[in-house]
Amino acid sequence: MFALSVVGALVLAAPAFAALGRPILFSDGLSPHVDSSFWAHLNPTQSTWSQWDWGYTPQTCYNNANSNGVSPYDFEIFAVKYTDCSNAWVLRLMGYGYFPTLSSCRHHNASLSQIDMIDLFGRLPVHERQWVRHIIAVPGGGSAYMSNADVVFQGPVGTPSVFQHEVGHAVDFYKNSVRSSGTSQFINAINADSCVPDSYANSNEVEDYTQVGVLAMYDIVNPGGLDGIGANWRCLVNQKNALDGFQRDHMTPGGACTRRWADDVTVKMGPAVPRQKRAPIEQASDLPVPGPSYVAPHAFQNLVFNATEQLKAKLRQAAWQKGEAATV
């Protein structure tokens, strides 16, 4: 009995995904090759936002606070309404009598500001965004992960490529009926190719798929496409074509959202919240709930930030909040 259960535990503890061990296209990661074009060509989406009163938080923010070693009390919870996911057509189509918002959680000491979160998430195509439930920012050394369709940013990772990578995990796991990165089409494509994007992609097929997704996004938004990236990217053309088949339609900017997840349940931040304090009004509950998923944190290196774009995002957001047109 004892031996059997040890074997069982070993099987369960074994890594779910194997390292690929393939030659790599870029030895310094993807950010130095894609982010300056992303900053210029992934355009922000107009939005407004509002703060939740202190005291309540989505369950996932409570859980991720605890797993990150910070207090759920020290979070700002805010709701973002993007114009491409709040129009009357979407409301009628979905049959819900409320404006869909993205409930987001930020620890007071997170490197990402609320504006960074709103701006960077809003630069991604709406059909990618619609596979994410909540976005969360906590302090940390510069890493990020995806769990249950929620994306968690730990420390200074405010670049479009990191957002594309993490949101890309949600698209991989949830858009198609099976995880796209685990299909024989994609595994065969890895084997048919002579490289993967970078050493991070070599971690396993899940990270590889999502890094190929970053390059596929570059192909879509960079004038001249991937041929402008300054390296022979065709060593991964089979992976890129396979990924395009799975999700290129959802990576193309424009349009309006066609679905959303139910928000996670709202809970008190903890016992210090006064007994009579009321929870925010619950949204419609007949929306789909994401099945479990988890992709471990990855530490990003050589990220290309852009302080000018960050400042512009602040000015834009302030104008939109006042109902004015943005001039930057």
Ligand X SMILES: *[C@@H]1O[C@H](CO)[C@@H](O)[C@H](O)[C@H]1NC(C)=O
Given the rule CB under 6 A, which residues bind ligand X? Answer: 36, 39-40, 74, 108-109, 306, 308-309
> How far is 248 from 211, CA to CA, in rounded Å?
14
Cβ atoms of residues 34 and 161 within 8 Å: yes
Cβ atoms of residues 64 and 150 within 8 Å: yes
Residue showing the smallest CB distance to ligand X in the complex: 40
Quick one: DSSP state of residue 233? G
Quick one: DSSP state of residue 108? T
CB of 103 to ligand X, least distance (A): 20
Query: Of the two residues 109 and 194, which places its CB atom closer to ligand X in the complex?
Result: 109
Query: Of the two residues 44 and 168, which places its CB atom closer to ligand X in the complex?
Result: 44
CB of 102 to ligand X, least distance (A): 23
Query: Of the two residues 37 and 238, which places its CB atom closer to ligand X in the complex?
Result: 37
Query: Of the two residues 108 and 277, which places its CB atom closer to ligand X in the complex?
Result: 108
Based on its alpha-carbon atoms, the radius of gyration of the chain, rounded to whole angstroms, reads 20
CB of 310 to ligand X, least distance (A): 9
Residue type, 117: M
CB of 308 to ligand X, least distance (A): 5
Query: Of the two residues 67 and 109, which places its CB atom closer to ligand X in the complex?
Result: 109
Burial of 5 (0-12, 13-18, 19+ CB in 10 A): exposed
CB of 260 to ligand X, least distance (A): 30
Sign of the torsion angle spanned by Cα atoms 61, 62, 68, 69 = positive
Quick one: DSSP state of residue 300? -
